[in-house]
Structures are given as C-alpha cells and as structure tokens.
A and B are shown apart, each in its own frame.
Chain A
C-alpha cells in the first residue's frame, strides 16, 4: 500500500521548558526536538502494514521551517521510504490552516491510507487529522487503538470512556493513531546510513487562513495554599476536616 504519515516536529516533552520573552511561545533555547509521540506510533503502524501485506511505500509529510528536515531524516532512518517537506516560516496553531496545506499535498496522490497522530504534544489540539480527512472527503476514524486491513476494507477500534467502539470503513481512508497500537521501533545503524540516500522533496506549504491564534502562553498557575497536612495516619483526621470545612468536597 502507499501510505502517508503526517509527522510534526515538537519539543521533547521530557524536557523542562520556559516561556519565551514574547509571552506566547516556548523558549527554544536548550530544547531537543523530536517526532511527536503519537506520530511515532503512526509511523510504526504504516511500516508494519507494509511488512505484513507486501511491498508498498511509506511517505512522511511534515510542515514547518527548515529545522524539521532533521525530523524527517529520523523518520527515514526508522524505515520510511521518502519525505515531503512543506515549507513555511512558522507553523500556525490553527489546525485548519495546517490541514489545508496537508490536504493540498495529499489530494489525488494515490495514497491508500493517510495516518496522523491522535494529537500533537505541543498544541494538544487533536484536530489536524480529522480536518484534513474532511477536506479530502475521505472516510475517517480517529484515535484508533487497533487496526486490521483486508481486501480494501478496514476495521478499527477506538477507546471511548468506559467502552471500546468498533468501526469498519473502505480504503482509501484517513486514520488518527492512539498510543498502544504498536510500540515504535528505534532507528538502526543500517537505517541511519540508508536514510542519508533517501529523498526529501521540498515544496512551499499552501496554508489556509488562520483564525485561531495564541494570545498568551503561561505556566499553569502554581496551586497556592498547597500544604503538607501532616505525617502518617495521625494526620488523617485533620485532612478530612479540611476536606469538609475548607475545600468543601465531602
């Protein structure tokens, strides 16, 4: 199958970070960047499908400034066949703006499947995949935790609150991938060498209009009044008293 995986370059979530001087973005100083967590699962799903179902092609598509070439190279070293870099100076926060550019690239390009992460770990939006699918007019299942493809049709599971939903869909289709579906492999030395020769096409990103912007970014409010009530079981009565009279949650 010909499979596209949309991957985003995001700050490494393990790192502690600071808000930049503009008060609306993250200070990039000292940050490591990597493929967004869920997008890593999406790559793994694509690679496994082609390993199981015979030869195909996995194409990674990433939108953003030049720095993301490094991210695309990493995807290539894991086993992705080629990369497409949709170039723009800054990535908008508005998912629909990004979706317009991705849809323009992916439309009529012969993909059997187009995969996304359930949500990018920087925006926390979880909207780009569903929006791109809608713009393309393709069947869509989001946040899937299980997938089977057979004879041009798919079956997927999604985890709802307290229940698992099963759906079926025809290919070509768009899927957004939840974690847990397939543990991502690491780049091998051989993969890293091979990646150097794999192609990355660069094209300008045809972003859509931006209607959602970040006015301010803050660290979450420090919870004030937080305190250690006491040590050991003897502190329990005081805790319960506070929950009743002060916090009023009992």
Chain B
C-alpha cells in the first residue's frame, strides 16, 4: 500500500479544473497500489484553506495548504522546493502534476531537484510492478509513445482533459504548512498576471470547442463561430494558425503544435483543412465534428462525423438545431 501525491493548481483563489483531474489521477494511483492515501498540496495567499476541502470530493484524504502572503501568485522556486521537501519526506508511489502552463514549469524542477524521472504530458497511465507505463503524444501528435518510467515516486504530468475528474467523495483532512523556502528570497518573481480578453470560458477547460479556419474567409465571419459556440452554452472558440497569423483572432486562440492543446468532449472544426500541426492540438478530443466543403480535406480522416458543404449554409443551420435541442432539453 502506498500513497500518491497531487499538486492542485489554483488560480485567483479558485481551483482550476485540472486540479480535480490531478487529484482523480492520484486517486487512481493510490487505489492501484493497494488503497493508499491521496495527499494533495495547494499554494496560496492566506485564506486558501477555505477552498481546500473541495478536493475531498475527488478522493483526496489529506490536503496540505501552504499559505503565505507571498504565494497569491505562482512562485516557481517556492512551490518546487516545498513539493520536493514533501516528496522527500513521504514514501509516495507517484506524484501527479497537470501538464498546464504552471504544471509544465513546475514538474521538471521537482524532478531534477529530487533526481527522479518524469513522464510529461501523459494521456493515460498504469502502475506495473516497480514501473509506471504511460502514454504520451510524441512527434507533435504524429505518434503515441508508450513510456516506461522507473523510480519512486514516479513523477507524471497529465494532459489537461485526458483523465476527466471523477468524484470519489471522502472527507479530506486539512493541514497548513509553511513554505520550505522564504518567498521573499526567490530570484524569479512573478510580478503580474494579466487576463487576456473578457472572462470567457478557457479553451482548455471548455467541454466543447468550436474552431474556425481560413474557410471563414474574413475576421467578421467569426461571428458564425461565436454564435454556434454560444448555442452550445459551454463552448470556447478556437482557431487555426492561418487565422491567428492573419490577425482574425487573438494568438491565444490558436490550437495546435504551436498553440494550445485541447481535449474537449466535443471539437467542432469549421473550414479547417486538418494540417498535422493543427491536429496536434486537438487530436485527443473525444468526439470530433468537421464541416468542410472539400470532401477530401484531411480533417475528415480524423473526424467522427463530417458534413461536406458550405459552412456559410451549414453553420447557421447547426446553430439553430443546437439551440432547439437545448431549449427542448
């Protein structure tokens, strides 16, 4: 029986969806090693302890809250030193991180500090004796690698959305701890966090992503995409690089090899050819729908459902149908 560790990511005092996914994965790891405990760690400004118990819903047994006035923002050196100390002090089978911007920064620091192996951007994993077997997209999504990771704890960062959060409720014990190093002594200091755009649903968290490509022809036609997204009610809008390069959409909307990687339940690709660099960012979506007037567009090879046709006719009709279905329940 061995315990598992989870880093639970907070932004602006609230858990990000990946925090629940990470705890879910830690629950899986602890259960697979004979029903050990899940120990989650959260960093934040004073007052963070109030949200900590939410993690019990996803299977955390113990939540350690590292509170300090200097930890309201990401503090890479403090987070990594404190996590490394916690991992040194416990005999964990696995330590889980999200492969989010923050988790991808943090996990390799911890791995190097502890001289431990790290499998990053993992989409699935299982314990196998002394090893962990993990799936990981390589070659910008052109291939899936099966990795073997040895050493304990095994460090893994999980692709957001790949392992959905699952409830496994229990009452989590909560404890507070001091950071392992003084935040005032950190060399790298995060001085600002500026939200981009309005308070829209984040691409990485939205259950539905509607993306538009060059087939939209002009920036103003993206209102078709916006309308379809709002018909779903829980959708974010993405774009191809062709579109962001032309300035039709903000670069932060770009999905693909050099943009965001998303794994929503439903991905709707509109007027997108399906270049490999774009597929790298959405290939692991659960269900993919493509709308394109070219029946030979590569996107149809990946799509579960396709409609061949002019998007300017198909999309308004789809928006109407989705509205109707949601209205009628």
Contact = CB atoms under 8 A, between A and B. Distances in A.
Contacts of B143: 19, 26, 217-220
A124 B133 CA distance: 17
A57 interface: no
Contact of B142 (A17, A142, A216, A222): A17
Contact of B314 (A140, A213, A221, A233): A233
Contacts of A94: 117
Contact of A249 (B145, B202, B265, B301): B265
Interface residues of A, number: 80
A166 B283 contact: no
Contact of B266 (A131, A236, A243): A243
Interface string A194-222: 00000000000000000111111111111
Contacts of A231: 307-309
Contact of A162 (B136, B146, B190, B252): B252
Most chain A beta carbons < 10 A, residue from B121, B137, B288: B121
A132 B122 CA distance: 21
A139 B276 CA distance: 35
Contact of B287 (A93, A128, A227, A247): A247
B112 A240 contact: no
A203 B189 CA distance: 36
B239 to A, nearest CB: 14
Interface in A29-81: 37
Contacts of B113: 134
A115 to B, nearest CB: 16
Interface in A148-193: 155, 158-170, 179-180
Interface in B183-209: 187-197, 200, 202-205, 208
A175 B139 CA distance: 23
Contacts of A125: 120-121
A117 to B, nearest CB: 11
A138 to B, nearest CB: 9
Interface string B104-129: 11011101110111111100000000
Interface stretch (B61-69, B148-156, B172-180): B148-156
A90 interface: no
A112 interface: no
Nearest to A235: B307
Q: Among B121, B138, B289, B295, which residue has the most Cβ atoms of chain A within 10 A?
A: B138
B98 to A, nearest CB: 10
A83 interface: no
A84 interface: no
B257 interface: yes
A223 B299 CA distance: 11
A239 B288 CA distance: 12
A21 interface: no
B116 A223 contact: no
A169 B139 contact: no
Contacts of A250: 322, 325-326
Interface string A67-108: 000000000000000000000000001111001000000000
A239 B317 CA distance: 11
Contacts of B238: none
Contact of A95 (B118, B144, B197): B118
B246 interface: no
Contacts of A247: 266, 286-287, 304-305
A126 B109 CA distance: 12
A220 B142 contact: yes
A93 B147 contact: yes
Nearest to B187: A139
Interface string A226-247: 1111111101110110111001
A61 B185 CA distance: 31
Contact of A228 (B151, B193, B300): B300
B189 A167 contact: yes
A229 B314 contact: no
B102 interface: yes
Given A159-B252, A226-B300, A239-B318, A220 B141 contact: yes
Contact of B119 (A134, A212, A240): A212
Given A161-B203, A162-B196, A169 B112 contact: no
B307 A232 contact: yes
B303 A162 contact: no
A214 B146 contact: yes
Interface string B51-85: 00000000000000000000001101000100000
Contacts of A93: 145, 147
A129 B149 CA distance: 20
Contacts of B265: 249
Among all A-B residue pairs, the 3 with the closest Cβ atoms: A211-B117, A134-B112, A130-B108
